Structures are given as C-alpha cells and as structure tokens.
Amino acid sequence: MPRSAPGSSRPEMAAVLLLVQAGTWLLAAVGALPFALAGETTMLALAVLTMALVALVLLLAAGLAGRRRWARSWTMALEWVCLGGSLLLLLLPIGTPRGLVALMVDVGLPAALLVLLTGRRGRQAFGWSGAGRVSRREVAPPRR
Amino acid sequence: MWEITGEHAPGLAGGVVAALAWLLAVRLVPSQGCRRRYAAAPGSVRTAALLMIVTAGVHLALAPHDLRDSPFTSLAFVANAAGFATVAVATFGAWWWRWAAAALLVATIAAYLLSVLIGLEGPDQVGIATKLVEVTALGLALVPVPHEPRPTHPVLRWAAVAAAVPALTMLTGLTVWGADLLRPAAGHHAGAVVQATASVPTPEQRAQADRLFEETAAAIAPYRDWRVAWAAGYRPAGPTAGAVHWLNAAYARGPILDPRRPQGLVYVRGRSDWVLAGAMFETPRLGEFGPDPGGPLTAWHEHQDLCVSPLGPAIGLASPYATCPLGAVGMSFPAMLHVWIVDNPADGRFATDLNPKTIRALQRS
C-alpha cells in the first residue's frame, strides 16, 4: 500500500474532524435508544445502523491517519453525500434545524473535510502528484 | 438549546472578530522570525492556534455581561481568554504549548459542563458551538504530524486524540441534552416550543376553555369506536408505541380549532382494543399558532427539531448537534393543541403530552 508522507498535515486534520463527526453521530444513535426502549423498534434499527456508520467512520479516520488512499476516497464519498443531503434538507420546507450548531455540523464539517482532502494538496498528501499517481520512489527515501 | 441567548450573542461576534484579528496579526507581525515560524508550522498547529483564539474571543466578549452580578465569573472569562491567547502565541516557539493547550481546553470544557449541570448556565447555540471548536482544537493540538521540530510521544498522543475527541464530543452533547430536558428554557417543554401567553387566565378564558373541552369531548365521542374514526378517514401515523396519533388528511388544511373536525385523534392501545384519549388540532403551516380562546389554558405547542424516519413509523429527538440517526431526518411539525378527554391529572386537559402514568393506566385497561 502506498504510504507516502509529504509534509502536509491534512490527513491528520481530516482524521480529527472525522472523530468529531463520529462523536456527533454516536450521540444521535445513543439518543435514539430511549425511544427504542419505549417500543419504537424502527428507532432501534436506526440506532444500530448509526453505530455501524460510526464504526466505519472510525475506520476511515484510522485510514486517513495512516495516509491510505482508500480512506481518502471513501471519506470524500461519504462527505459529499452528507453535504448534499444536508443542503437538500435545508432547502426543503420541513423545518430542518438551521441553527449555528446545525450549520457547523451538517455543512461546515463535511465542507472542511472536503477542502482538506480534495484539490492538488489534498491528493499530494496521499502520494498523488498533480498529473497522477506518485511512485513510492518519488515520495519515500530509498531503502538501504 | 436551539437559540442564541441575548447574553451570549456578543460571544459569537467576539469569536469572529478575534479570528479575523489573529489572521491579520500573523501576517503583519513585525518580526521576520515569527512570520517564518508561523509559515513553517504544520496546518494542524496553525488551525489549533486559530481555534483557541476564537475561544479566547468568545470568552472575552462574554466577560462584561457578568461584571456587575458575578465578577468572579467575569474574571474567570478574562483569565481563560488570556490563557488561550498565550498558548496560541506559544504554538510557534515554545515546547510546552501542546500539553498546556490540552490542559486548558479540557479544563474549559469541564467548567462549562459543570456550570450547565448545576444550572449556572443554560445551554445555547453559542455555548455548544464553542465546545465543538474547543474539542476540535484539542484534537489538532495533540495530533502528531510529520516533520514536527520536536516529535514527542506520537503513540500516546494518537491514543489521547482517538479517545478524547469522540468522548468529549459525546459527553458535552449528553450533558447539554440532559440539562435541557430537565430544565427546559422558558417557553419550551420536552422538545416543543409553547405559545407565549399571559401567565394567569381570565374568567372569560376559563369559560372559553371549558366550552372548547366540552364541545370537543362531545364531538369525538363516536370515535371511541376506532372503526367509526377509520370510516371518517382517520389513520394511524407516526410512532406506534404509547399515545398514537391518528390523522385525517381531509382536515390537514383546515378548519383550525373546529371541535367537529379535529386534524387528529389520539388513541392508546389497551389490552383488547384502542382507547380514545383525546383530539389534536393542528395548524396548516409551520411557525403559526392557532386561535387561543383559553389563554394560558389552551396554549399551542410546536414540536421542533424532531428526528423522523421515512423508513418506518419512528420519531425521536434531534441531538444538541442537530444530528439524527442514520435513516431519519430532522424536521419540525406545525403547531398543535391537544384536548385530553381521559383523566390526565398531572398535566391537565390541554397538556402538551399525555402523562406516562395515564398512558400506562390506559394500556392496562
């Protein structure tokens, strides 16, 4: 697996933001449990589903910390879905939360993660050059 | 929890101003050495410093509010702001800044949670947002990055980040949530915003409330047999546990507060059959309360920030971070007014909710 490590700290920053995001989702899962205990079985299913998502996000954070390219790709896909979904809900007239914290968590966090991971510097942090994939020799010192 | 309180609004402005001032200052600082050190610092370090400055700005802007009533709190805010500013400046030279930042951030978060727990402070959007900023700053301060000038304890630091960041995010959310449910802000009741009214009803309002109750109870009496309600167009909607709302789509757009045509009926599943507990009136649009003939006795309420799943009949509360479980979306419902025809002694005939004891009694019937 390519594990190039140019000087950028973007992967580590993205890992920290993913941990914050995981914490906010874990709270949503825990918050669903009282309703599940009150007899709403659908809420139990959703809580379990959310905990599985949190586990996936923690795996992605570990992958980003290790500068794995698959982690970058999957994180970007996840964050595009989150950002698109949040913006769609904000546009619909259903009274979705629009407060400062909602905007930070639902829009700010995914947007910040995408800024960190996309673009030339985002790619370079994971060992891709502007033109394409960087070979291990370009980014890692030769073994002696 | 979902609003920005008047006393915290200056904190929001303080955070923004502090961030802008910091970004300007690091470019205009006269010392070339300082500018070079800032430019050479990893992005995580520069961002951690910026977030600490934001926190410093928020706390500094909050200090004047408490100056008269609680000078100690005011002094603590100023000291905290000075501490964060010092650590932010130290990030580009001092060896000790990471551990100082971690200690100050954890202490600040702990102090906030304690003050929310004991009721010194009500949670609001500025408070929760600032805690998210501080948790993120903590993670960025501790996370090891490549090419650090003095790399120390990378494994320990990763372990601290992986444990502290999600744990503090959770702990902050749980504390704020618990405090908000136990001590709801004025005009709020367990996730609902209650219509503002006078605190004491007039004799005329009492009479009007009595009349609304009697007319509604008489009009919905035939629906004690759920088959009659079904034939009239009422269908179960939402959660199937506890008090189950049956809605009639034909009345969704009105009329408002017509006892003969309520938008919904509320049933509880008894041992053998559905038991009619009351009626629900609802307005057609979000953000509008209906007519209030009984003053404080018949105040409407609007359920905001609920988690609703299109995958099945399920409703929960959105977390303080406005997050819902996967598969549910955050939304609000138009204002509603319940009329309970069963004995609801703890909360009354027009209460926001049916008392859990009443529900259990009906379920046993």
So where are chain A's domains?
A: 10-127
* Contact criterion met (CB < 8 Å) for B319 and A28: yes
* Contact criterion met (CB < 8 Å) for A96 and B170: no
Q: CA B157, CA A111: separation in Å to the nearest integer?
A: 26
Residue B136 has pLDDT above 80, yes or no: yes
Q: How confident is the model at residue B5 (pLDDT cuts 50, 70, 90)?
A: confident
Residue that wins the pLDDT comparison between B228 and B287? B228
Least confident interval from A17-31, A90-104, A121-135: A121-135
> How many other C-beta atoms are found inside a 10 Å radius of the C-beta of residue A129?
14
pLDDT digits (tens, 9 = 90+) for B167-200: 999 999 999 999 988 877 666 666 678 888 888 8
**Residue to test with chain B: of A37, A42, A88, most B Cβ within 10 A:** A42
Q: How many beta-carbon pairs below 8 A join chains A and B?
A: 195
So where are chain B's domains?
A: 9-185, 192-364
DSSP B190-236: TTEEEPP--SS--HHHHHHHHHHHHHHHHHHGGGGSHHHHHHTTEEE
Residues 6+ apart with CB under 8 A from A2: A69, A126, A127, A133, A134, A136, A139
**Contact criterion met (CB below 8 Å) for B1 and B180:** yes
pLDDT at A142: 47
Which phi and psi (to 5°) does residue B242 adopt? 70, -135
Q: CA B320, CA B15: separation in Å to the nearest integer?
A: 20
Contact of A105 with chain B, judged by CB distance below 8 Å, is answered with yes
pLDDT at A7: 66
User: Of A93-97, B20-24, B234-238, which has the strongest mean pLDDT?
Assistant: B20-24
pLDDT digits (tens, 9 = 90+) for B281-320: 999 988 888 888 888 888 898 888 889 887 766 678 899 9
Could you say which residues from 12 to 31 on chain A have a Cβ atom under 8 Å away from some Cβ of chain B?
A: 12-13, 15-17, 19-20, 22-31
Residue that wins the pLDDT comparison between B288 and B112? B112
Chain B residues touching residue A47 (CB < 8 angstroms): 325
Residues 6+ apart with CB under 8 A from B246: B226, B229, B234, B235, B236, B237, B264, B265, B266, B267
- Average pLDDT for B255-261: 91
Contact of B332 with chain A, judged by CB distance below 8 Å, is answered with yes
pLDDT at A2: 40
User: pTM to 2 decimals?
Assistant: 0.85
Residue A132 has pLDDT above 70, yes or no: no
Which of B146, B311, B329 minimises the CB distance to A96?
A: B329
Name the average pLDDT for chain B: 89
**Contact criterion met (CB below 8 Å) for B192 and B303:** yes
**Contact criterion met (CB below 8 Å) for B225 and B322:** no
pLDDT digits (tens, 9 = 90+) for A45-87: 999 999 999 999 999 999 999 999 999 999 999 999 999 999 9
* Contact criterion met (CB < 8 Å) for B43 and A89: no
Which of A19, A46, A47 minimises the CB distance to B165?
A: A19
pLDDT at B138: 97
**Contact criterion met (CB below 8 Å) for B316 and B327:** no
Strand order in the sheet with B329-331: B315-317, B306-308, B329-331
Could you say which residues from 166 to 225 on chain B have a Cβ atom under 8 Å away from some Cβ of chain A?
A: 166-170, 173-174, 177
Residue B163 has pLDDT above 90, yes or no: yes
Residue that wins the pLDDT comparison between B188 and B226? B226
- Alpha-carbon gap: A45 to the closest alpha carbon of chain B (Å): 9
Supply the DSSP symbol for A106.
Answer: I
Residues in chain A: 144
CA A11 to chain centre: 11
Strand order in the sheet with B274-282: B188-189, B192-194, B301-303, B336-340, B274-282, B264-269, B243-248, B234-237
pLDDT at B190: 62
Return the residue of B nearest to A103 by Cα.
Answer: B322
Residue A96 has pLDDT above 50, yes or no: yes
Supply the DSSP symbol for A103.
Answer: I
Residue B238 has pLDDT above 60, yes or no: yes
Token pair listed for A23: 């914490």
pLDDT at A137: 46
